[in-house]
């Protein structure tokens, strides 16, 4: 998706991501909601997050060494209690995403317990399908750090609970990063992304 050697192109790509998120938000404001159990604001966040998540995965500087045994990139969609919703998001992410850097992408939906126990798997990113509580997140945070993979949540205040990357939605939409979480997991994202993102304090 993105050539890390083409710095000007990468910068333009980030601008496109942010404008793309704004366009998605405008579209959703005029569209019926598909997930009845989510508030309008949370539903919009999830849709924007599904668009942004693969782009963030693509700028992991160590992505090449996070291929699974088949040479594919593995993404987890992790749910807390709502398996049906986790599977819905898995399908939506899978439909919009075939490859990253010409590597096949495999998307798997798992419960938090299943993900935390997936010792043999090597995901390169985890998308949180639900707004986990602090205690419920602890095993996933530990697992993401162990696997050195990006932990992403579209939900508000996720950074306060230790998630690495998320969304800040105000008058505009920006990615927000938890630098301490990234450093703990030894996840290295491209510096242009870090410069353009909001930093969680």
Asked if residue 1 belongs to a domain, the reply is no
Q: Tell me the pTM.
A: 0.82
What gap in Å lies between CA 52 and CA 44, rounded to an integer? 12
**pLDDT at position 50, please?**
94
Integer Rg of the chain from CA: 16
Asked if residue 193 belongs to a domain, the reply is yes
Average pLDDT estimate for 48-58 = 94
Asked if residue 74 belongs to a domain, the reply is yes
**pLDDT at position 25, please?**
41
Instruction: Return the half-sphere exposure (C-beta side, CA atoms, 13 A cut-off) of residue 136.
Output: 14
What gap in Å lies between CA 58 and CA 14, rounded to an integer? 12
Token pair for residue 63? 């992505």
Asked if residue 114 belongs to a domain, the reply is yes
Asked if residue 112 belongs to a domain, the reply is yes
Q: Reduced to 3 states, what is the DSSP secondary structure of residue 196?
A: helix
**pLDDT at position 33, please?**
38
pLDDT per position as a tens digit, 137-191 = 999 999 999 999 999 999 998 998 899 999 988 878 889 999 999 999 999 999 9
Asked if residue 39 belongs to a domain, the reply is yes
pLDDT per position as a tens digit, 70-98 = 889 999 999 999 999 999 999 999 998 88
Containing 177, the helix (H) or strand (E) segment is: strand 173-177
How many domains would you assign to the chain?
1
What whole-number percentage of the chain has pLDDT above 90? 59
DSSP 34: S
Token pair for residue 1? 């998706």
Tell me the residue length of the chain: 201
**Parent domain of 28:** 7-199
Q: Kind of pairing, strands 165-169 and 173-177?
A: antiparallel
pLDDT per position as a tens digit, 89-136 = 999 999 988 899 999 999 999 999 999 988 888 999 999 999 998 788
**pLDDT at position 37, please?**
46
Query: pLDDT at residue 65 above 50?
Result: yes
Answer whether 89's CB lies under 8 Å from 130's CB: no
Asked if residue 14 belongs to a domain, the reply is yes
**pLDDT at position 56, please?**
94
More reliable by pLDDT, 150 or 44: 150
**pLDDT at position 16, please?**
56
Asked if residue 2 belongs to a domain, the reply is no
Containing 106, the helix (H) or strand (E) segment is: strand 103-111
CATH code of residue 195 = 3.40.50.2300
Answer whether 144's CB lies under 8 Å from 157's CB: no
What whole-number percentage of the chain has pLDDT above 70? 81
């Amino acid at each position: 998706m993105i050539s890390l050697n083409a710095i000007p192109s990468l910068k333009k790509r980030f601008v496109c991501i942010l404008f793309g998120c704004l366009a998605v938000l405008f579209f959703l404001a005029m569209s019926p909601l598909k997930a009845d159990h989510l508030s309008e604001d949370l539903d919009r966040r999830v849709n924007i997050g599904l668009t942004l998540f693969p782009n963030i995965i693509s700028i992991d500087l160590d992505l090449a060494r996070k291929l699974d045994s088949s040479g594919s990139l593995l993404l987890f969609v992790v749910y807390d209690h709502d398996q049906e919703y986790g599977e819905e998001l898995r399908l939506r992410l899978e439909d919009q995403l075939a490859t990253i850097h010409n590597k096949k992408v495999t998307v798997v939906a798992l419960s938090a317990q299943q993900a935390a126990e997936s010792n043999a798997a090597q995901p390169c990113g985890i998308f949180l399908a639900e707004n986990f509580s602090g205690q419920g997140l602890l095993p996933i945070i530990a697992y993401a750090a162990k696997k050195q993979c990006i932990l992403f949540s579209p939900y508000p205040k996720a950074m306060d609970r230790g998630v690495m990357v998320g969304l800040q939605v105000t008058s505009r939409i920006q990615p927000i990063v938890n630098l301490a979480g990234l450093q703990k997991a030894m996840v290295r994202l491209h510096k242009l992304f870090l410069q353009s993102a909001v930093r969680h304090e």
